[in-house]
Amino acid sequence: MVTGAIQETPPLSGPSTVMSVFEPDSFIVADVVPSPSFDERKGGPPDIILLHYTGMQTGEAALERLTSAESKVSSHYVVFEDGRAVQCVPEEKRAWHAGVSSWAGETDINSRSIGIEIVNPGHEFGYRDFPRRQIAAVISLCKSIATRRGPIRSDRVLAHSDVAPARKQDPGEKFPWQLLSDSGVGHWIRPAPLKIDGITLHPGDRGEAVARLQRALRDYGYGVEETGHYDDATRDVVTAFQRHFRQARVDGIADPSTQLTLRALVDTRPGKTG
């Protein structure tokens, strides 16, 4: 079942020792509440910002879970609905927030990313709009991270559902990606209109048109195989794509609006050559 609530499992290396209070990395942080669930990053420095919603009934319950040794889950930051930001893991450490996930062929997303949990009850507990004050804090935090960490490409500001489409749906179709983009955070374009002529691809379809769809999704970064078969995995990826980039209708069906929006994103993504 696709879910969004905090329930990630730790890496095989096991939990670290309890961390003492540390100096926050960002000026926007109001409090530091250390989590013991972290370890050392593998590979290079983080170059992904991964956005989640907490998917729990209250922000306090989410923060307790993210800082409990028993839960074995954590994120670098938690942003409350009133805009208060709490840091739980230093950015230089590997927080345990992404779970089994992939992007652009990479599978250790925890090592490559900085995780931000955004307080919202999510689809299970009454999914609601994100307050402007909260989103303003998320934007400031993302800008602070990108400034300090060197250039983080806009197409690597991602949703949890982007990197784990079969399991996750957060931060969901109510998350205002356009507002972030208008503020200089993330890669986004205005989606193509829903009512537009063209071929619609459905789950179960086969052929070259499906292969082209899968190829474009994979070119953008999604973890989908180019098989020419619109299988369950492809449907999950299309659904995740719609939650992020074509929120007006999220149904896992690759209608012309979805396909044109995807094509425009691939053509305008940072670092594209040719």
Look up residue 84 and give its DSSP letter: -
pLDDT band at 12 (very low <50, low <70, confident <90, very high): very low
* Residue 102 belongs to domain with CATH number: 3.40.80.10
Whether the pLDDT of residue 147 is over 60: the answer is: yes
Note whether 92 and 156 are same-domain residues: yes
Considering the domain architecture, whether residues 71 and 140 belong to the same structural domain is answered as yes
User: What does the pLDDT look like over 224-252, one tens digit per residue?
Assistant: 999 999 999 999 999 999 999 999 999 99
Q: Note whether residue 237 is domain-resident.
A: yes
Domain count, the chain: 2
Residues 71, 172 share a domain:
yes
**Average pLDDT, integer, range 103-109:** 97
The residue ranking higher by pLDDT, 1 or 27, is: 27
**Predicted confidence (pLDDT) at residue 81 exceeds the cutoff of 50:** yes
Q: For the CA atoms of the chain, what is the radius of gyration?
A: 18
Q: Are residues 164 and 59 in the same domain?
A: yes
How far the first Cα of the chain sits from its last, in Å, is 39
Q: Which two tokens stand for residue 49?
A: 């910002």
Interval 37-56: pLDDT, tens: 999 999 889 999 999 999 99
Q: Can you tell me which residue has the tokens 């305008």?
A: 268
What the block records as the tokens of 125 is 């507990």
**What average pLDDT does the segment 76-81 reach?**
98
Q: How far apart are CA 49 and CA 115, in angstroms?
A: 6
Query: Are 230 and 206 within 8 A, CB to CB?
Result: yes
Residue 167 lies in a domain: yes
CATH for 244: 1.10.101.10
- Using the predicted structure, report yes or no on whether residue 273 has a pLDDT greater than 70: no
Give yes or no for residue 15 having a pLDDT over 50.
no
Tell me: do 118 and 249 sit in the same domain: no
Host domain of residue 243: 208-268
Please say whether the beta carbons of 26 and 141 come within 8 A.
Answer: yes
The pLDDT, as a whole number, for residue 19 is 63
- Residue 182, number of CB atoms within 10 A of its CB: 12
- My answer on whether 168 and 225 are in the same domain is no
How long, in residues, is the chain?
274
Provide the token pair at 155.
Answer: 């197409």
pLDDT value at 14 more than 90:
no
Would the pLDDT of 111 be above 50? yes
**273 Cβ neighbours under 8 A, 6+ residues apart:** none
Going by pLDDT thresholds of 50, 70 and 90, the confidence category of residue 157 is: very high
* pLDDT single digits (tens) 122-139: 999 999 999 999 999 999
Our answer to whether residue 173 is catalytic in this structure is no
Q: Which of 8, 64, 81, 117 is catalytic?
A: 117
Average pLDDT, the chain: 94
User: Which of these, 78, 36, 74, lies nearest to 60 by C-alpha position?
Assistant: 78
pLDDT for residue 151: 83
| pLDDT for 20 | 75
Q: Is residue 101 part of a domain?
A: yes
- Of 182, 197, 219, which residue sits at a domain end? 182
pLDDT of 21: 87
Q: 61: part of which helix (H) or strand (E)? A: helix 59-66
Same domain, 170 and 58: yes
Residues 247 and 157 placed together within one structural domain of the fold: no
Q: Is 101 exposed, middle or buried (0-12, 13-18, 19+ CB in 10 A)?
A: buried
